[in-house]
Amino acid sequence: MDTSDPKISFNSEGVCNHCINFDEVWSLRWFPNEQGKSMLEQTFEGIREKGKGKPYDCIIGLSGGVDSSYLALVLKEYELRPLVVHVDAGWNSELAVHNIEQIVKYCGYELHTHVMDWEEIRDLQVAYLKAGVANQDVVQDHAFFASLYHFAVKNKVKNVISGGNISTESVFPDAWHHDAMDAWNIRSIHMKFGSRKLKFYKTIGFYQYYFYYPFIKGMTVTRPLNFMEYDKESALQVLKQKVGYKEYGRKHGESRFTKFFQNYFLPEKFGFDKRLPHLSSLIHSGQMTRSAAMDELGKPLYEKDELREDMTYVAKKLGLSVAEMEGFIDSEKIDYSEYKNWDKHYRFLSYLKKLVRKIGWIKLKTY
């Protein structure tokens, strides 16, 4: 990590806050050992027990990326019966479609695909480009999570299985992005820059996310990859051997937009290279040396011909010219906080959590 993270800090020994956070927080929640295996078996046994007599005992979102794809195999190994949901926001690469089909076929799962209304997605994504904020992936990310939770409630599934993991995602500079779950921020940006009403784009509000789902509906989130020795390269090889999985070559290559956004738009406009936190996470989990990570950073994010092809594709699909897209990249950088957001509510929630824990009323955990 470097000073492209404006909140990076170093102690007297030159150790940055990300490393300290890993040692003091994340490493205590990570169990890539026999203890983790035992904890995971107990968790899955509880999920199977609660799911008896029901069509599904858990729900999983399948994007076609390595994490969710490998997790689908893990659930098969532990004989869970997941409701498998894929949200198509219009940006699936051909490889993603292939990989999802292969995984579902191998595992014997029934796939439920939710196809988003493209005109609404397009309008919202162009609104985000006009807004000038950093996290252009909010439109897709919020849609994925919102659809997953709506599917869960509709099918009376309480256990959400997530591919999020400490092994590859322990380093994340908060200053780079705002939370994709902030529906107020989404609506504020769309109200200012959108051109059509959102009839089908479902959102999850602050109180739904932090109160309704966990406390009223009793939904819980489990991240199995935190309770095993999850090595991304090894997982990729397993997927290739067992299901004929095809590698994307780039992180998040399953989405044509995310690939373009992370590898060109974000570093070009904001100076944020998402390889930095990703590689740092792999170093923390022992999957890569710092020297190898530096070598990786020496490689170009895009080859010229590939960039030209992707730029043209993304612009055309959004109904823009390449010149307009380049104009959005060159335009003023705007912080998300310039638009309505949930920050005050989130700060109050954080204060409330600390107060409840201090008093010792209940063991309060939000996701």
Domain assignment of residue 366, yes or no: no
Label residues 305-338 b or e (16+ Cβ within 10 Å = b): ebeeebbeebbebbebeeeebeebeeeeeeebee
Of 251 and 349, which is predicted with more confidence?
Answer: 349
Q: Is 220 helix (H, G, I), strand (E, B) or coil?
A: strand
pLDDT (tens digit, 9 = 90+) per residue, 295-334?
999 999 999 999 999 999 999 999 999 999 999 999 999 9
pLDDT digits (tens, 9 = 90+) for 77-133: 999 999 999 999 999 999 999 999 999 999 999 999 999 999 999 999 999 999 999
Residue 365 lies in a domain: no
Report how far apart the first and last C-alpha atoms of the chain are (Å, whole number). 26
Residue 135 resides in a domain: yes
pLDDT > 70? residue 345? yes
- What pLDDT sits at residue 252? 61
Q: What tokens does 309 get?
A: 């092809």
Closest CA to 268 of 154, 151, 136: 136
Residue 268 lies inside a defined structural domain of this protein: yes
Would you say residue 10 lies in a domain? no
In this prediction the pTM is 0.92
- 275: domain range? 17-359
Query: Rounded to whole angstroms, how far apart are CA atoms 265 and 89?
Result: 19
In a domain, 5, yes or no: no
Structural domain contains residue 281: yes
| Residue-level pLDDT at 360 | 64
Place 71 in a pLDDT band, splitting at 50, 70 and 90: very high
Domain-embedded: residue 248? yes
Render pLDDT for 244-292 as a digit per residue (tens, 0 to 9): 999 987 666 789 999 999 999 999 999 999 999 999 999 999 999 999 9
Average pLDDT on 31-43 reads: 97
pLDDT tier at 361, thresholds 50, 70, 90: low
Nearest to 83 by CA among 110, 113, 121, 117: 110
Q: What is the CATH number of the domain that holds 119?
A: 3.40.50.620
Total structural domains within the chain: 1
Which residue is it, tokens 């944020």? 272
